[in-house]
Amino acid sequence: MALTESRPLELTTGSEVVDSPLGAFVRPQGSTGWRSWVTTVDHKKIGIMYGATAMVFFAIGGLEALLIRLQLAQPNGQVLSLEAYNQAFTLHGTTMVFFVIMPLLAAFANYLIPLMIGARDVAFPRLNALSYWIFLAAGLFVYSGVVLGEIADNGWFNYAPNSGLTYSPGHGIDFWVLGLQIAGIASLIGAVNLIVTCLNMRAPGMTLMRMPIFVWMSLVAQFLLLFAIPVITVALFLLMFDRLYGSNFFNVEAGADPLLWQHLFWIFGHPEVYILILPAFGIISEVIPVFARKPLFGYPFMVFSGVAIGFMGWGVWAHHMFASGIGPVSVAAFSLSTMFIAVPTGVKIFNWIGTLWKGNLKFSVPMLFAVGVVSQFTIGGLSGVTHAVAPADTQQTDTYYIVAHFHYVLFGGSMFGIFAGIYFWWPKAFGRFLSESIGKWHFWIMFAGFNLTFAPMHILGLQGQPRRTGTYPEGMGWDIMNLLSTAGSFLIALSFLVWVFNVVRSRTNVTNDPDPWDGRTLEWGTSSPPPAHNFDVEPTASHLDEWWHRKYDEDENGRPVRRESYETFAQPGFDASTIHLPSPSYWPILLAFSLPLISYGLIYSLWFAAVGGVLMIVAMYGWGLEPSVDPDAGHGGHGDDHHDDHPTPDPTDEVSSMSEVGAAPVPGA
């Protein structure tokens, strides 16, 4: 297992983890080897592991995309067989949604939320570790199917009844169904954890309307996950029972209606779109004010539009089914709801423009990516409005026009936003800069490659090229656009390599400045990288953008004036042994890896499931009986070991719940 963990880590940190300690990689209270990563419950390490793992999957999903584009570069492509092509686009979609963008956003949420709200960690640190390991287990499980040659080939939305045993007799769909159920557990645990963290762990004085906008958008996304994951879990369960036990939920011969799957999938699937984009909106809403040297324009409107999207996102799912024959009344209703969800989205775009307006704009790399999101997401949003016009959508749906649309949203929006965040918070997380000059190459190559790949797909779709078709004849008028698109995809791949090079180079690009961008939120007030306990001095908040207000006073014209001196949250020579942090634990990783074992059991032999079940029960008991306060680690702890993972919320005193999380003594201190 150690191998699988250390590989992704190399990606973000260069080849060495131990020899040149990168701050966050070193737990001052623990060993620095691989064990400290496997057993960590530190939200920052978990965030970094989420990010590193997801970037490995991004490379894999990208290779799948290149195969797809190579096959379609010319008519009658011979690069892949049709079987392989169908597997490639299924894996590409599944990987990018569940194993790249979701965990990358989880990486940001894990790393940043406690820092931004002035907490020592998330509410349930061991659960946090559990959700990471379950996510990794799910990804490895799905790709173990690839190694075994059992690859799903029915697209990422896997419509019934083609997903049933009759039409998909191999184990590919089984790996997909079980893998996504495992991944769903990870998301659900993470959602509960982060919701409780946002609601209960904020620094004294940080009211909800003083919460950084990234935390707000992530909170909305976690609520969406909390309600959306159960829906797809139901769908996956029904399909699993159909396949394993002949339960006939989607068996048409037995009277089933296969549209049931579509409704369940999209009741999950559309909120999922907002799960993938809202936190990225949050990231760029943090980045743009810093590089414009202005506060976010219309903060309350940004918050409420995000919440509005969160609610309205539940009422638009059937716009994925305008051609499915659901009847004109349903079509009209979902057509209207889909049009009007564009309103809060538009509010966000206009507020970003309001923030940029008359700003003092510095185009560092994070800002380039952030403005790239505003520009490119707008294109995706506008093509989305044309889908809302249901009759037009009957021409567009299942064509490359849709493929163009959602890549403008998910790549031009989410991935560009994620890269904005990576460049922005890299010096905070690692005490190193990603190079500005290499970063600009990265941005411009990716920007050009992205638009070259996906803009022609609008034309292809309107000219009638359906998605999910691994070959097309000559004479359809699609040749040039497909060739351009393929060329663009290789530019994207090149830009990714430039980024990897930048990551490797960043090892020598050390900074001691904890606040290099003149940031606005609490994380910039502690050292870079932050200590395990995040803040030497517990923050309090009396403003939105608290850290900014500590640095700047206002003159009579409302212009900021730098204060002569201000207190930071880092104190040189601070004695961390007084801070109580939960101890590392082996149980989360053991519990997580019982799930793929049980899944192999359901596919191959119940003996695997028996072993997995025993491991699960042992891990759960071990977890339950393990004091999160390590009694051998000194400091006597704070008593009630069985509850300290579950701080009692005390609405009148948020500090008390915070200190409960810190109830464990520092191991080895």
Partner 1 sequence: MPVLRDAVRPRRHLRWPALGALALLVAGCATDAPQDSLDPAGPAARTIDNLFGPVFLVAVAVFILVQGLIIYMVIRFRRKGDEDTSFPAQLHGNTRLEVGWTILPALVLAVVAVFTVPVIFELNEEPENALVVDVEGQKYWWGYEYGDQAMVPGGGITTANELHIPAGEPVFLRLQSNDVIHSFWAPRLNGKRDVVPGRQHTWTLEADEPGVYSGQCAEFCGTSHANMRLKVVAHDQASWDEWVASQQAEPEVPTEGLAADGYEVFGQLCASCHVVAGQYDEVAESSPAAPDLTHLFSRDCFAGCIYDLNDRNELEAWLRNPQRKAGSLMVIGELAEAQIDQLYAYLTTLE
Residues between 520 and 579 that touch partner 1 (CB under 8 A): 554, 558-560
- Scanning 137-145, 254-262, 409-417, 521-529 for contacts with partner 1 by CB under 8 A, the matching segment is 254-262
d(CA 262, CA 238): 13
**CA 356 → CA 81, 180, 360, 368, distances in Å?**
49, 40, 8, 12
d(CA 185, CA 314): 21
Give me the 261-300 binding string for partner 1, x by CB under 8 A, dash otherwise: -------------------------------xxxx-xxxx
Q: For residues 528 and 431, is the Cβ–Cβ distance under 8 A?
A: yes
Site for partner 1 in 581-640 (CB under 8 A): none
Question: Which position among 248, 463, 509, 577 is part of the footprint of partner 1 (CB under 8 A)?
Answer: 463
Considering the complex, state which of residue 128 and residue 351 has its C-beta at the smaller distance from partner 1: 351
Supply the minimum distance, in Å, between the C-beta of residue 458 and partner 1. 7
Which residue intervals of 201-258 are DSSP H helices? 213-245
Considering the complex, state which of residue 549 and residue 638 has its C-beta at the smaller distance from partner 1: 549
Question: Which position among 34, 159, 314, 444 is part of the footprint of partner 1 (CB under 8 A)?
Answer: 159
Token pair recorded at residue 197: 């963290």
- Scanning 174-182, 325-333, 617-625, 653-661 for contacts with partner 1 by CB under 8 A, the matching segment is 325-333
Question: Which position among 98, 135, 426, 478 is part of the footprint of partner 1 (CB under 8 A)?
Answer: 478
d(CA 200, CA 103): 23
Site for partner 1 in 57-96 (CB under 8 A): 81-83, 86
Residue 414: Cβ within 10 Å count = 28
Site for partner 1 in 331-390 (CB under 8 A): 331-332, 335-336, 339-340, 342-343, 346-347, 349-351, 353-354, 356-363, 371, 374-375, 378-379, 382-383, 385-386, 388-390
- Element at 552 (helix H, strand E): strand 552-554
Supply the minimum distance, in Å, between the C-beta of residue 203 and partner 1. 22
Considering the complex, state which of residue 394 and residue 542 has its C-beta at the smaller distance from partner 1: 394
**CA 142 → CA 148, 458, 596, distances in Å?**
10, 31, 9
Considering the complex, state which of residue 436 and residue 641 has its C-beta at the smaller distance from partner 1: 436
SS3 state at 358: coil
d(CA 241, CA 174): 10
Token pair recorded at residue 360: 């003092």
Q: Which residue matches tokens 């159920």?
A: 181
Name the β-bridge partners of 553: 561
Supply the minimum distance, in Å, between the C-beta of residue 481 and partner 1. 5
Whether the bond into 204 is cis, omega within 30 of 0: no
Supply the minimum distance, in Å, between the C-beta of residue 244 and partner 1. 20
Considering the complex, state which of residue 55 and residue 455 has its C-beta at the smaller distance from partner 1: 455
Which amino acid makes up residue 417?
G
Supply the minimum distance, in Å, between the C-beta of residue 328 and partner 1. 4
Residue 400 contacts partner 1 per CB under 8 A: no
Considering the complex, state which of residue 331 and residue 532 has its C-beta at the smaller distance from partner 1: 331
Q: Which residues, 6+ apart, have CB-to-CB distance to 208 below 8 Å?
A: none
Question: Which position among 247, 469, 509, 577 is part of the footprint of partner 1 (CB under 8 A)?
Answer: 469
Residues in the chain, how many? 669
Q: For residues 211 and 236, is the Cβ–Cβ distance under 8 A?
A: no
Name the β-bridge partners of 466: 399
Site for partner 1 in 404-423 (CB under 8 A): none
Question: Which position among 477, 624, 631, 634 is part of the footprint of partner 1 (CB under 8 A)?
Answer: 477
Q: Which residues, 6+ apart, have CB-to-CB distance to 629 below 8 Å?
A: 580, 582, 583, 637, 638, 641, 644, 663, 664, 665
Let me know the angle formed at the C-alpha of 107 by 104 and 109, rounded to the nearest 5 degrees.
115
Whether the bond into 529 is cis, omega within 30 of 0: yes
Question: Which position among 328, 573, 636, 639 is part of the footprint of partner 1 (CB under 8 A)?
Answer: 328
Residue 313 contacts partner 1 per CB under 8 A: no
Give me the 113-152 binding string for partner 1, x by CB under 8 A, dash otherwise: ----------------------------------------
Supply the minimum distance, in Å, between the C-beta of residue 167 and partner 1. 6
Q: For residues 107 and 47, is the Cβ–Cβ distance under 8 A?
A: yes
Supply the minimum distance, in Å, between the C-beta of residue 140 and partner 1. 27
Count interface residues toward partner 1 (CB under 8 A).
Answer: 105
Give me the 482-511 binding string for partner 1, x by CB under 8 A, dash otherwise: --x---------------------------
From 40, 35, 113, select the one nearest 581 (Cα to Cα): 40
- Scanning 206-214, 310-318, 397-405, 599-607 for contacts with partner 1 by CB under 8 A, the matching segment is 397-405
Supply the minimum distance, in Å, between the C-beta of residue 377 and partner 1. 10
Q: For residues 548 and 632, is the Cβ–Cβ distance under 8 A?
A: no
Considering the complex, state which of residue 196 and residue 434 has its C-beta at the smaller distance from partner 1: 434
Supply the minimum distance, in Å, between the C-beta of residue 536 and partner 1. 27
- Burial, 401: exposed, middle or buried (Cβ in 10 Å; 0-12, 13-18, 19+)? buried
Considering the complex, state which of residue 2 and residue 561 has its C-beta at the smaller distance from partner 1: 561
Q: Which residue matches tokens 């014209």?
A: 557
Supply the minimum distance, in Å, between the C-beta of residue 346 and partner 1. 5
Question: Which position among 49, 54, 277, 452 is part of the footprint of partner 1 (CB under 8 A)?
Answer: 452
Considering the complex, state which of residue 57 and residue 250 has its C-beta at the smaller distance from partner 1: 250
Let me know the angle formed at the C-alpha of 388 by 275 and 222, rounded to the nearest 5 degrees.
10
Site for partner 1 in 201-240 (CB under 8 A): none
Supply the minimum distance, in Å, between the C-beta of residue 76 and partner 1. 10
Helix axes 365-388, 436-462, angle to 10 degrees: 10
Site for partner 1 in 163-182 (CB under 8 A): 167
Residue 464 contacts partner 1 per CB under 8 A: yes
What does 250-269 look like in DSSP terms, one character per residue?
Answer: S-GGGT--THHHHHHHHHHH
SS3 state at 425: helix
Considering the complex, state which of residue 3 and residue 559 has its C-beta at the smaller distance from partner 1: 559
- Scanning 58-66, 101-109, 156-164, 169-177 for contacts with partner 1 by CB under 8 A, the matching segment is 156-164
Supply the minimum distance, in Å, between the C-beta of residue 468 and partner 1. 4
